[in-house]
Structure 1
Amino acid sequence: MSTSAGEPDTDHGGQGDDEPEPAPDGSEDGEPEPDGGGGSDGGPPGSGLSGVWITVIGGIVATLLGVFVQWLLTDDHRPPDKSGPSIQTPDAGDGRGSGGQGGGGGTSGGNKTVSGKWFGKRGSLTVTVTKVENEGGHIRLYVRADNGYSEEVRIPLFMHFIANDDTGHSYTNAMPSDWAETVPAGDFYSGVIELEGFVEPNARSLTTVSFNQLYGPMSLTASGGVKIHDVPLPR
């Protein structure tokens, strides 16, 4: 059937052309889907990585702490001992006195002996009689000198050594004696001094053994020597 001219056609096929098109991502209203980024459990972004770093840092701190504790338990952290070698010398009180410690007597090759420590001290120098030997009336003194000074010390015998016994007799050193006189700095020297002549038959001890002149540091040179008292004589 024909229509009249100028009248629009009527669409009987349903809805018009103004119907909205569906969204490209398949959603009905065209709105974007929420971002599902972040941790696998839906937590905030980067939360899994933060946990890894905390574990790593904790392990490093624990390791360093263990190393530090081990270091404290060892002696490696202590500074080295820079002091020089020590010299063991008898203590003589104020540095000008003397003392003694008797030992046992006996015989050596037919000679009568007595051993011990009888000493005198002047400053940092200690002179000790360690043994007395009697060979048919001839007396030998075994003497050790310990030098605690930083320079050598000389202990001469000629004109500077004398020993007195308890009967009032005096003895100089026989020539020669096995005595080198010089004691190196910070070291010791041992020698043998033989008394001149025969000891008195009734003498029981040397009341003084005197080294009347010492050479070394100025304070020692001007000190007046060192004396050892009450050294027993073997009978």
Structure 2
Amino acid sequence: MTPPLVALTDQTLGWGGQAVLRGVTLRIEAGERIVLLGRSGVGKSTLLATLHDRMALRTALVPQDHGLVGSLSVFHNIWMGVLDDHGTAQNLRCLLWPRRAERARVEDTLDIVGLSGMGRRRVAQLSGGQRQRVALGRALLRGGAVVLGDEPVTALDPAQGAALLDHLGARFKTSILALHDVDQALRVATRIVGLRAGGIAVDAPAGDLTEADLLALYR
């Protein structure tokens, strides 16, 4: 049997010494497209952070706060996704004098996320939706076996969000995304994990669940 990417058994998860989720048992297999659902504050971010920390494979992360540096350009924020692929000297050189091939690589990603030609603009000058696109672009440039996203398309309209979720699905074999939109969840997920009352209330194939089943998580 192929070992799972991550396996949690009866775990208590939290931060700052405070338990947020209890009795968490979860096994993540390669190739799954998992969506986490539940009210704000129920523990989706805590679960995502735990899964990210325990992944042994290369992962890309789209955090809820975007994790961008406002004083740097869009180019440099997206390039951060591959900083650990290069040595210190190359990264310093790229900070000052990016090569044409490096700019072209980032520009290809900007085309995907709808920010063509904006590589030189400072992130501090961008709208919330544009910043979210930069964070998604950084994850797409990084690539890897797994992408984890904490509300990765909330600042985008439904059509834009759906298109970018499709790009993540095409780029990464495995995805674990915290979403709020039930319709999006049913469209992109192979499996849905619903959190409620400090634990996992739903863990089932997406095809076995209805919109009503998932809306019950928010009551």
Task: Give the TM-score band, short-chain normalised.
Answer: under 0.3
State TM-score, norm by structure 1: 0.22
> Which of the two has higher C-alpha Rg?
1
Q: 1 or 2, which has the higher helix percentage?
A: 2
Q: Which has the higher contact order (CA 8 A, sep 6+)?
A: 2
State TM-score, norm by structure 2: 0.23
